[in-house]
Amino acid sequence: MSSTHQPRPLRWVKSTYSSGDGGECVEWAPEHAAATGEFLVRDSKNPSGPQLTLTGAGFTSLVAFAKHHRG
């Protein structure tokens, strides 16, 4: 029996460190991270553009950077 199951589209979540004025808008895909250990990050203003693929440690560093430089 052949399956035509298509992968579900990623659910992207806006970072709480994104600015509310539309400037810096970073999104990540939490379910993908939980399932694969890969942390996908993208610019919400360009959803079809490039994505970063980070390790857990890389994502943790990105969040720490955002916390420190939040203005």
| pLDDT top residue among 26 and 4 | 26
38 lies in a domain?
yes
The whole-number pLDDT of residue 56 equals 96
33 assigned to some structural domain: yes
CA distance 23 to 20: 7
Q: Tens of pLDDT along 41-66? A: 999 889 999 999 999 999 999 889 88
pLDDT digits (tens, 9 = 90+) for 8-41: 789 999 877 665 565 668 899 999 999 999 999 9
- Inside any domain, residue 1: no
Q: How confident is the model at residue 68 (pLDDT cuts 50, 70, 90)?
A: confident
Phi, psi of 28 (to 5 degrees): -140, 165
**49 within some domain:** yes
Query: Based on the structure, what is the number of domains in the chain?
Result: 1
26 in a structural domain = yes
Q: Which domain holds residue 64?
A: 13-68
- Tell whether 6 is covered by a domain: no
Q: Is residue 5 over pLDDT 70?
A: no
